Structure 1
Amino acid sequence: MSENGAASSGGRRLNPFARREEFSSQHLLLYKITTLVTYLLLLVTAFYYTFNAPHDGKHHHGKNHHGRWDHQSTIWGQNDLHPTPYSQNFIITSIYWIILFVLQLVYAWSLYSSDSVYVAAAGNVGSHYVANNLLLFGFIHLWVRSHFWLGELLLVINFFNLSLAYFRHSTTPRLIHIGTVSGPLAWNFVALYWVGAVAVHKHPDHLPARIVANIFIWGILGYGVFFLAAFKDYTIGFELSVLAFSTGVGQFFTKLPILQLQWIFAFTIGAILFILSFAVGVPGLLGQDPFKRGEIVSEDRERAPLLADD
């Protein structure tokens, strides 16, 4: 092997995000440990701050002398304290995340599978998954303490992390794909709007801010259509649909809906994405795809039971 080839091979071994066909027992053990630790870290943190505010000895309510918000609250308390055109409904989004946490157990279990296809798929997204957990752990701590710009920064970093995972490993089996890639990515994309609007802290009743929000919310539809058209990925279409409905419900109950368009736009986007995702997903699942599309997994794998032995 040439020096360049050896250096390239060594670099791939050291790069935790490099794509591999198989993983050593040491690599798999590391992923099993880091997956469990970061999963529990994020799960416990999210659960705790859903019901409890931080106890750092500072409980300000309002703005300080610099004009910045410096109070502390729960995850959804912040959502209520800072209503924006992207505020979500806590019930719908919470159920969304509960489902993701359950599906992530499928991913964790696949690391122990006897099927090398699923082990390799889980291993290849492992570093991205662990990074996602750590970044969201940091985001929650920043969010509940009103460090919105820093929280937005972590979401931007995680957006690139999850996007890289998606484009490099788009053939990951469905339920692993949903729990570790498409589900977190869909939420992260919508959260960029949500947290960014709070960070700017423009009053939601200001006409210019409302007009900008009415325009930018259609980016959710464009983002979903891209994945439906380019990857035939109905999972991210349905996920963005649910989050759009959550935004619509959140807007409906936040302000007088008859005076605003945001909730109407959000419901419209959710309905369009749901219909398009249904149209893309059902024919493929039935093996009656009327025209060629890009595939997340092969049709044989799509119809096979999850984690079944070949």
Structure 2
Amino acid sequence: MANFNQGTSSIASSCTGASLLTSLLPVNPFSRRESHSAASVTTYKVLTILSWLLVVITSFYYSFNVPQDDIKKWRSTIWGVNAVYHTPFATSSVIASIYWIILFISQIGYVWHLFSGNTEYVNAAAGVGSHFILNNLLQFAWVMLFVRGHFIWSEILVIVNFFNLSFLYFRHNTHPRFIHFPVVSGPLAWSFFALYWNGAIGVNAHSLPARILANVAIWGILVYGLFFLVTFKDYTMGFALSVLTASLGVHQFLQKAFALQWIFAFAIMGTLFLATLVIAVPGIFGKEFKFGREHHIVDPDQERAPLLEDN
């Protein structure tokens, strides 16, 4: 019982943070607004920076250090867990770490736009601020539980954050790229991938039936990625899932060369990457891909909605 209380204390911290967010921001901080008051923007600045620093410091610390709160209980680093539990969804720590470093760096650019002198940029950045702060708090709580071996509880937090980020995506998928990738598609791609990774660890998926199920479930990554590519022309989601699937394939190959999982992973990665290029390359040259023969020049106003087809 003591182990459970220690492991779940981080959830209480995230709940406290969420209560603070609700009290300082408008009655419903997740409601969609075209503009924000100076007081709300200031609150977003403070809470965004604090929550971002919290998750960055915690992630880096527990990537290299084992929790010392109860040395009699099983503890490990983030990637130590990945190394101990050789599940069909174990991933390359190197590639996944690079993904997160790039994501964290890109989020600095997002935070900077909260301090911009351009009112439009500030309102756009503040518009997704509540979801971003909640994402940081949930990610922090996930790390605290994950490194302490509470995999079922950490999976529950992944599920909660997946719904938080999914709601954010479908409500704010037309924001500019400097907001969309660091706040929306990048974290959402990881959250979806973590459902597999954390879930496989939580159920200790080592049996033959579990591996057969994993060989089938992995194709969900392809379906998920193609959905965003076809529906929203979202090449940022395609690239993100391609990198994460490549990370899975590399580790699975090094772990067990004679297996189907890494073959499927590379097949999915290649398909997503090629489909992403089909969507992304025309945009680089000022064109928008359409599923047909016709291409047209993108209207300059569409820069505010670079990932959504203008109907």
Q: TM-score higher than 0.5 here?
A: yes
Contact conserved, 2:176 with 2:303, CA < 8 A, in 1?
no
CA deviations 1:143-170 (Å, max 9, x no partner) are 0000000000000000000001101011
Runs of 4+ more than 3 Å apart? 301-304
CA distance in 2, matches of 1:199, 1:137: 18
Question: CA separation of 1:37/1:261 partners in 2, compared to 1, >3 Å: closer, same or farther?
Answer: same
| 1:75-86 pair list within 5 angstroms | 75-86=78-89
Alignment partner, residue 172 of structure 1: 175
Cα deviation code 1:13-54 (max 9, x no counterpart) = 411001111110000000000011001100100010000000
Give the conservation status (yes or no) of the 8 Å contact 1:173–1:302. no
Aligned to 1:35: 48
Q: 1:301/1:107 Cα in 2 relative to 1: closer, same or farther (>3 Å)?
A: farther
How far, CA to CA, are the matches of 1:290 and 1:180 in structure 2?
25
TM-score using structure 1 length: 0.85
Q: Could you list the runs of 5+ residues in structure 2 that have no partner in the other structure?
A: 1-24, 293-297, 305-311
What is aligned with 1:240?
241
Deviation at 1:301, TM superposition (A): 5.9
Q: Secondary structure at the match of 1:14?
A: coil
Within a 5 Å distance, the mapping from 1:104-123 to structure 2 comes to 104-123=107-126
Offset, 1:302: 6.6
Q: Deviations over 1:42-80 (max 9, x none)?
A: 0100010000000022344xxxxxxxxxx1100000001
Aligned length: 276
Change (3 A) 1:192 1:33: same
| TM-score, structure 2 normalization | 0.85
Q: Tell me the residue number matched to 1:212.
A: 213
- Taking the TM superposition and a 5 Å limit, the aligned residue runs for 1:179-258 are 179-203=182-206, 206-255=207-256, 257-258=257-258
CA distance in 1 between partners of 2:299 and 2:67 (Å): 48
Identity of aligned residues (%): 51
CA distance in 1, matches of 2:266, 2:291: 30
Q: Distance in 2 between matches of 1:300 and 1:128?
A: 28
Relative distance call for 1:85 and 1:302 in structure 2 (3 A) is: farther
8 Å Cα contact 1:284-1:299 kept in structure 2: no
* CA spacing shift, 1:301–1:115, aligned 2, 3 Å: farther
8 Å CA contact 1:285–1:303 kept in 2: the answer is no
Alignment of 1:49-128 (within 5 A): 49-60=62-73, 71-128=74-131
Please give the alpha-carbon distance, in whole angstroms, between the structure 2 residues aligned to 1:190 and 1:301: 33
Cα RMSD, aligned residues only: 1.8
**Quick one: which amino acid aligns to residue 277 of structure 1?**
T
Shift of residue 176 of structure 1?
1.4
User: 1:283, CA displacement in angstroms?
Assistant: 0.6
Question: How far off its partner does 1:253 sit?
Answer: 1.4
The residue type paired with residue 40 of structure 1 is L
Unaligned 5+ runs, structure 1: 1-11, 61-70, 305-310
Q: CA deviation at 1:284?
A: 1.9
- Identify the residue that residue 45 of structure 1 maps to in structure 2: 58
- Residue 22 of structure 2 corresponds to which residue in structure 1? none
Please point out which of 160, 163, 178 is paired with 1:160: 163
Cα distance in 2 for partners of 1:36, 1:281 equals 31
1:173 touches 1:301 (CA, 8 Å); kept in 2? no
CA distance in 2, matches of 1:290, 1:75: 40
Superposition deviation, residue 299 in structure 1: 5.0
- Cα pair 1:88 1:249 within 8 Å, conserved: yes
Cα shift at 1:250: 1.1
> Quick one: structure 1 residues 268 and 131, their matched pair in 2 at CA, closer, same or farther if it must change by over 3 Å?
same
